[in-house]
Structure 1
């Protein structure tokens, strides 16, 4: 996931793994210009039940916080939306 052309600050590999898992579960909605998104509570549930990650609740919350802080997601009304890096 670490792409040298990605303008977003790099993150730990385990957090990027969480990002990849969440992106696989994000849905696009026509009324939001096809912005992939996922409800925050659903994102936490996915991170906690994904066997590949083996997260504790604190790990899942930390990963979401870091993804938000670093601009991988932005939050609107308890919904996480994927921030697409500019090309």
Structure 2
């Protein structure tokens, strides 16, 4: 479930969410994990290490900021 409360997630993981959110056309459009990792590694200020990108994606999934459908990551729509 999506929550406005990001206290349990570090700022750099919330930054990953913002990067992924801006990298998708709409919450209904999904991207592959590989594309999500590419978007994160392309950002200069985001840790470029693959383990960091994988960890950030997993944390966003585990905390409801992202969800996965048929192998694609989607942004949780805060308006729902």
Sort the TM-score into its range (normalised by shorter chain).
0.7 to 0.9
Tell me which of the two structures has the higher relative contact order, counting C-alpha pairs closer than 8 angstroms and 6 or more residues apart.
Answer: 2
Instruction: State the TM-score, normalized to the length of structure 1.
Output: 0.75
Unaligned runs of 5+ residues in structure 2 are none
Bigger Rg, structure 1 or 2: 1
Q: What does residue 23 of structure 2 align with?
A: 25
Instruction: State the TM-score, normalized to the length of structure 2.
Output: 0.81
**1:14 Cα shift?**
0.3
Q: What does residue 12 of structure 1 align with?
A: 10
For the structure 1 residues 26 and 13, does the alpha-carbon distance in structure 2 shift closer, same or farther, using more than 3 Å as the test? same
Corresponding pairs, count: 78
